[in-house]
Structures are given as structure tokens and as C-alpha cells.
Amino acid sequence: MMENVHLAGEEDDDLYSGYNDYNPTFDTEELDNDVGFQQALRTSHGRRPPMTAKFPGTAVGTRVLGTAFNSRVPMSSSMGRPMTGSVQDGVARPMTAVRAAGYSSAMSRGSTFDPLGQSKGPAPPLESKNEDTPEEKIKILEKKVNDLIEESCIAHVRGDLQLALEKAKDAGRKERTLVRQRDQTGTADHINLDLTYSVLFNLANQYANNDMFPEALNTYQVIVKNKMFTNAGRLKVNMANIYFKQKNYPKAIKFYRMALDQISNTHKDMRIKIMQNIGVVFICMGQYSDAISSFEHIMTESPNIRTGFNLILCYYAIGDRERMKKAFQKLIYVPLGIEDEEKYTPSNDDPHANLVIEAIKNDQLHQMERERKALAEKYIMTAAKLIAPAIEASFAAGFDWCVEMVKSSQYVELANDLEISKAITYLRQKEFNQAVETLKMFEKKDTRVKSAAATNLSFLYFLEKDYDQADRYADLAMMADRYNPAALINKGNTLFVRGDHEKAGEFFKEALRNDSSCTEALYNLGLTYKRLGRLEEALDCFLKLHAILRNNAQVMYQLASLYEVLDDPNQAIQWLMQLISVTPTDAQVLAKLGELYDGEGDKSQAFQYYYESFRYFPSNIDVIEWLGAYYIDTQFCEKAIQYFERATLIQPTQVKWQLMVASCYRRSGNYQKALETYKDIHRKFPENTECLRFLVRLCTDMGLKEVQDYATKLKKVEKMKEIKEQRVKSARDNSARGRREGSASSVGSSSPRSTPPKKANDSGHSSRGPSARGERLSARLRSLPDSNEPYEASSQRDIDASYLDPLGPQLERPKTAAKKRIEEDEFADEELGDDLLPD
């Protein structure tokens, strides 16, 4: 029995432990420190009267069950609500229901603040997406298609049309692959129609941008015929635009009208634009009546500047004066829908408003307004210039009517511009006095118009070489507007022609400072530097100008000329080659190329360009002379004859060309033809000693009886020339003696000397002029001994040695090899050597 007796100290466990342990929530002694309880007391819940039971036989609130241990255990109410202030799942329930939902500012007992739930440990890893499923594959493919469409559009914006087309084709291929995958997975009902439409529409656009019109039309047709695409009928406008580019105007009108039928009246703007396109197509077809119907409807429903201008063009085409006037009146009263410029004028009262105005003065909206107004003014000015000569008996009366109409509209400032256009029309009709009178009316007008009128007057007087008046009006234009580049250029031009090149260059520089894009000022500045000898600066000006005007022939010629002066013929040839690519039929440029190649010693290239120059302009004496000399130098005298005969037709009074023809016949062995030619020359020029000398020589060699007659005539002519020269010499001596006697200065004992003959350069001609070339050719007639000619054995010695060249002394100048040979080797006998030539 004692085996079942246990002592208290023998075991660790206390038999009576746990009786005093209870939930602290039920400790009434600690209620003063219970935050939830104290908060409940302070709320209206603690001051409410007790509620009656909703169900019979139950009490409101909780029923406390007494135990032997006098413990208090909360029980649920009959409604099943937990006790107010009870703890469930470690979270204290609020002691009142009148409280907002969400996080509680009071933490539950025994818990820490952990809003992110970090005490629970790290979040489980995300599940990896399975890309092998058909749905994921379809989504990835759709994304690739969208990316390709976007890349295609970006390439088009950048101007790479070929790349844009390739991207569009790739998008089309991938979209078809996507459709096949949907069919295979059984999700064909979920086809993305918007994606299909985007692919086809982009592909058609890229075909059209690359001028692949049949492919574009086929693609558009696929879209239009698919009934699943809503509003696809609007794309017929695009198809009509393609037909218009192909100049298939009937088809274009058909599709425009089909598109018009499928667009409701709610889209008024689109309908107006389509009707405007229809009117333009009718103009291209020449059906002006149908075009007028379309434009009149537009001007009634929604008037705009372009349509009004097109309507005036149609009335002008059919010659209806009255309707032209009415259409012009409608045009100048079309509302532009822009704000008044006064809105952008700052006021001094409100600094905040001034800042706002300064911010919006140059924004995109204001720029658009300015562009719209400038476009309207351009159309009105063009329409007025067009109809002014047609609406009245004279163009002046027509301009006056247009000016009156414009003055009564919102475009008052255009009236002065129309007056200046009137003056310019006078100029085009060669009525200079009327133009000057019209422009002089603006001398008392406002600054801008006064400057423009004075500029035109200065230019007119400059063309008439009245440089004083040109300078006066240039000064007037600069006084009215110092920043007018045209006025500064006119002032510089007047100074340039007067020889003040330094000051002219300053005005050209000022014009460039005012307007850096003024090509006229830059060109004139280059010419000024060239005249001043500042060749490097001139070259810099023309190179800058060439960068602006890539295909300007005058600029390229000036560059070639400068390189030639700078002794760089290779660069000059390169620029001239570029020049003939722009103007391939310019005979002067081809002749210049021939001259440069001749200077370089390349005879074949020189002959090619001289010959091309002769083909385009067969009246250039320089070219004819070079070609004739080239054939003589290459021993083809028969071919040289045709060029000298051409020169004879151009200058029939010049004996040298006919002597050259006769000499070519003589050197080629055709003595009979040479004799006939010399006889013909003698009939035309009986006092030409050179012709008589060759007649004497030929008649002697051929044994003709006329030799004595020609020898007698030669002696008489030479005697007369000696007498004439003696008279001239004595007259000069007498005049020199008279000047010496009348002079107050002392006179020396030396005999007077005759005045040397005046050179060709003294009369303003260069040594390369026609007179110098004539003298050079005369030398050819006197100095070409040839051992193969049969008449060298002639025993005739009765030719007088006092031979004088009737064409004057020779001028010294650089010569090419061919010309030197002619001067040393051509057109003379052995017996007429250099000792017969005057010094």
C-alpha cells in the first residue's frame, strides 16, 4: 500500500501547480493597465445601455460559467460573436465596432511591429514562366510582330524606305505564322484582328512609299474586301491617291467617290478633303466645270485658302472675269482661325503677363499661325498677279482693282506689295518709264515699302548705266532699312563699277552680316577680291558659294578661272570638267578646256574639246583658227581648208583668211585651184602685195603669160606704198618740228624720230584679239619654206625686196607649238625670207 504513497520532495512536479495560472486578459486587478479596456471605456461603447436579447431565452452579452475554482471563462454570445476585447489568433479584437478598418495603431500583446511580415521568413521564389506552352508562344510571336511594325515605321521616318519595306514584309510573314499556330492550337476564334489590320496597312503604305504601286493596291484590296475590318472603306482614299500618282485619273475619281459614300456626314472635315481631291483630279483632266462644282460646294460648306485659290484658277482657265472677281473677294475673306498679333505684344503694367507673352511668343502654336498667315498671303498675291491682266482691259486697271479689294480686307499690308508687283509687271513689258513712276510713288510711304521700292529703282538705274541715280536710290533704300541686304548690294555694285573696290567689298560684307544666306553678296565679294588680286580670299568665297549652290555654272567657272590664274591648270581642268557635266553644250567652256589642254601639251585632248566647241558654235574665230593651225601642223592641209573657208564667210573683208585658203591649196599640190583663189583675191583686193607676189610666183612656175602683168602691178603697188609712207613720215616730221618750235623749252640738236606705230593693246584690245591673230596669220603667209614644193627652182628674181606687210607689224605674245610652227613654217617661199619683213 505504501508503494502508492509519494512524497512531495520525491518528484519534480508540483501536484497543485497551475491552479493560480490564468489568462492575464481576465485579471481584473490589471484592468487599469489594460489599454484596450481603457480605450473601450472612453468610447461610446462603454456608455451605451445594455441591449435586450434578440432571441428569447438568451442573454445579451456573455454568460459567465462559475467553477469550483472560481475561474471566469468568457463564453460566446447567443449570436456567436466573440467577446469584446477578446484575443483571437493573437490579435486583440477592438472593443467597439465603431472604428475604421485597416491597420491598428495598438499592437497586440506579445507581438512586435512587423508590417511587412519579415518575421515569417523570406518569400517563396517566383514560379518560372513556362514558355513551352502554346499560349506563351503565341504571346511572344505577337510581341515580335508589333516590334517589327514599330521598327518599320521608325525606318520610314528616318528616310530608309527600303529597310522599312523589309521590316513590314517580315511582320507580314510572322503574322501569318501566328495565324497558323492559332489554327493548330484550336484558338482560331481568338485571332487578333487589330494586329492583322496593322500589318497589312503598314505593308501597303511601305509599298506605296517605295513606288511599288501594284503591290500596294493589292494589299489595300485585301483589307477593303475583308468584312471583319471595320471602317476599312476609308482606305479607298489611299488607293485613289495611288491612282492619281499613276495619272489614272478616272480610277482615282471612282475610288474617291466610293470612299466619300462610305464616310458619314459626321466626319465633315474628311469629306471636305476628299471633295477637294476630286476637284484637283478634275483640274488635271481639264474638266474645269466639274472642278468648279466641287470647289464651290467646299467654299459654301467650309471655305479655306487652298480651295479658294483653286477656284480662281478654274475661273481663269475658262476666262470668266466676273466670277474671278467674286472668287477673289471670297478668298480674301476666308477666316484663318488665328489670333491677332496684338495678343503677343507685351504690356508694361503686368510683369507676370509679360513673362507669359514672352514664353508663348515663339512657341509652336504661334509659329503655326505665322506659317498659315504667310501661306494665305502667298496665295492672295499669286491670285492677284494672275487675274490682274485678265479682269480688266489693262493689267494696270486690274492691279488697281485688286489693291482696292485688299485694302478693305484684313490683308491691308499686301496693298503696297501689289503696287510693287505692278511696277515689276511694267518692267517685264518693257515700259520702264511707267515702272519708275510707280516705284517713285513709294518714296513717302512707310519704311519697309520705301526700302523695297528704292532698291528696285536703284537696280533699274544700274541696268541703264545711270550710276549716279543708282547710287542715290541705293542710299535712300539703306536710309529706310539699313538691314536690307539688296540695298547694300546695289550700293556695293555702284562703287564696284566706279573702281572703288575696297569700299564695295565692305558693303558686300555688311550684306552678308545681315543675311548670311545672301548668295549675291558672296558672289560679288568673290569678284571684288579677284579684282583686287586677293586670289586666295576670292577662292574661299567661291568655294563657300559652291557648297551652297552645288550646280551653279557661274560659280564653277569662277573657280576654274581662279585656279588658272594661280597656275594650277590641273585644278582648273577639274572644275571645267564638272562645269561641262552641268552645261555640256557650252561652246566657250569647251574652248577653254581645249586651251588648257593645249597649254599642257596634250594636243589630242585639246583637239577633241576644240572640235566639240566648233560643233556647238561654228562661228568662233579663235576656235576656227586653232583647228586650221592644228591640221596644218599635222600635214592635213585639205582639212584645214574648210575651217578657213568658214572664217572667210564670217569675216569676208579680212584678206588673211582667203590667203590661208589659197596657201592650203598650194601646199596640198592643187596649184590650179590655188591660182584661181589668188586671182579671186586679187579681184577683191587689188592692192594686196602678198597676193600679187604669189601670183607672180605661180605664173612663173606654171609658165603662164600673165606673169609680166602681175609683176608690173606688183611694182606699181609697192611704189605707191613707198610714196604713201614717205608722205606719212614727212607729215609726222613736220608736226614734230612744229611742236618743238612752239615749245618754250630748249630744243636739242638731234634729228626728230618718227613715232612708233601704235600697238593693238593701246586701243583696248588684248594681244589675243582678232587683230593680233590676223597679224600672226600674215606671218604664216610669208614664212613657210618647203623643200618639196616644185616652184622652188624658179629663176624669177625681179621681185622688189621693199616688201611691207599691209597688215602692220607683228605683235609678240606666247604661242603654242602648233602656232609657232605655222609662224615659222607656213605660207612663204624660200626667196621671200625674213630679210623682207619689216622690223
pLDDT at 57: 45
pLDDT at 361: 78
Cβ neighbours of residue 458 closer than 8 Å, sequence gap 6 or more: 469, 470, 471, 472, 473, 474, 476, 477, 487, 490, 491, 494
Determine the structural domain holding residue 468 and report its residue range: 447-550
519: CATH: 1.25.40.10
pLDDT at 446: 65
| Any domain includes 474 | yes
All three cell numbers of 789, joined, read 614644193
Residue 92 β-bridge partners = 87
Cβ neighbours of residue 590 closer than 8 Å, sequence gap 6 or more: 580, 609, 610, 612, 613, 616
All three cell numbers of 271, joined, read 469629306
| Any domain includes 582 | no
- Tell me the whole-structure pTM to 2 decimals: 0.55
Cβ-contact 465, 498 below 8 angstroms:
no
Same domain for 320 and 466?
A: no
Same domain for 281 and 164?
A: yes
Mind giving me the DSSP string for 57-98? T--SS--PPP-TT--------TT-PPPTT-EETTEEPPS-S-
Same domain for 147 and 268?
A: yes
| Any domain includes 396 | no
Same domain for 659 and 513?
A: no
| Any domain includes 245 | yes
Query: Which pLDDT tens digit goes with each residue over 756-769?
Result: 333 333 333 333 44
Backbone angles phi, psi at 589, to 5 degrees: -65, -40
pLDDT at 129: 61
Residue 783 β-bridge partners = 826
Which of 712, 729, 746 is the last residue in one of the domains?
729
| Any domain includes 790 | no
Number of domains in the chain: 3
List C-alpha distances in Å: 485 to 323, 390, 513, 763.
41, 34, 9, 38
Flag residues of the chain having pLDDT under 70. 1-31, 41, 43-124, 126-132, 188-189, 341-342, 347, 444-447, 741-839
State which amino acid sits at residue 451.
S
- In angstroms, the CA 739 to CA 398 distance is 70
| Any domain includes 576 | no
DSSP state at residue 186 = T
Residue 207 burial class via C-beta count within 10 angstroms: exposed 0-12, middle 13-18, buried 19 and up? buried
Same domain for 326 and 203?
A: yes
Same domain for 663 and 537?
A: no
pLDDT at 136: 83
Mind giving me the DSSP string for 238-305? HHHHHHHHTT-HHHHHHHHHHHHHTS-TT-HHHHHHHHHHHHHHHHHHT-HHHHHHHHHHHHHHS--H
539 SS3 class: helix
Distance of CA 338 to the CA centre of its chain: 29
| Any domain includes 68 | no
List C-alpha distances in Å: 788 to 102, 661, 684, 702, 792.
130, 19, 30, 16, 8
Q: What sections of 549-636 are H helices per DSSP?
A: 553-565, 569-582, 587-599, 603-616, 621-633
Mind giving me the DSSP string for 780-838? HHHB---TT-GGGG-----S-S----TT---------HHHHHHHHHBS--TTS-GGGS-
Cβ-contact 152, 108 below 8 angstroms:
no
Cβ-contact 772, 810 below 8 angstroms:
no
Which of 550, 567, 592 is the last residue in one of the domains?
550
Same domain for 147 and 256?
A: yes
Which of 280, 309, 337 is the last residue in one of the domains?
337
| Any domain includes 128 | no
